[in-house]
Amino acid sequence: MFPSIAFLGIGLMGRPMASRLAAAGYPLTAWNRTRAKAEAVAGALVADTPAAAVAQADIVITMLEAGPIVADVIAQCLSGLRPGTLVIDMSSTQQAEAQRMQQHLAEHGVRFLDAPVSGGVLGAEAGTLAIMAGGAPADFAQAEVVLKSLGRPTHVGGPGCGQLAKLCNQLIVGGTLAIVAEALLLAQAGGADPAAVRTAIRGGFAESRILEVHGQRMLERNFMPGGQVKSQAKDMDNILAAAAIAGLQLPLTALVGESFNSILSKVPKADQSAALLALEQINSGIRLGSSADQLPG
Cβ density class 207-216: b for 16+ within 10 Å, e for less: ebebbebbbe
The DSSP bridge pattern shows strands 129-134 and 117-118 to be: antiparallel
Q: Give pTM, 2 decimals.
A: 0.86
pLDDT digit of tens for each residue in the chain (297 aa)? 799 999 999 998 999 999 999 999 999 999 999 999 999 999 999 999 999 999 999 999 999 988 999 999 999 999 899 999 999 999 988 899 999 999 999 999 999 999 999 888 889 999 999 999 999 999 999 999 999 999 999 999 999 999 999 999 999 999 999 999 999 999 999 999 999 999 999 999 999 999 999 999 999 999 998 889 999 999 899 899 999 999 999 999 999 999 999 999 999 999 999 999 999 999 999 999 999 999 998
Fill in the amino acid letter for 64: L
Among 71, 170, 74, 72, smallest CA distance to 117 is for 170
Cα separation, 18 vs 103, in Å, equals 26
Taking the CA atoms of residue 53, residue 55, residue 56 and residue 59 in that order, the dihedral angle to the nearest 10 degrees is 70
Distance CA 188, CA 131 (A): 37
C-alpha torsion 201→206→207→213, nearest 10: -90
Active site residue 266: no
List Cβ neighbours of 253 (8 Å cut-off, separation of 6 or more).
Answer: 171, 174, 175, 236, 239, 240, 243
Q: Is 221 helix (H, G, I), strand (E, B) or coil?
A: coil
Q: What residue ranges do the domains of the chain occupy? A: 5-157, 164-281
Fold held by 164-281: N-(1-d-carboxylethyl)-l-norvaline Dehydrogenase; domain 2 (1.10.1040)
**Which CATH number is correct for 5-157, 3.30.230.70, 3.40.50.720, 3.90.700.10, 3.40.50.2000?**
3.40.50.720
Characterise 36 by phi-psi region: left (phi > 0), alpha (psi -120 to 50), beta (else).
Answer: alpha
Q: Which of 166, 230, 266, 269 is catalytic?
A: 166
Residues 6+ apart with CB under 8 A from 87: 59, 60, 62, 74, 81, 101, 105, 110, 111, 112, 113
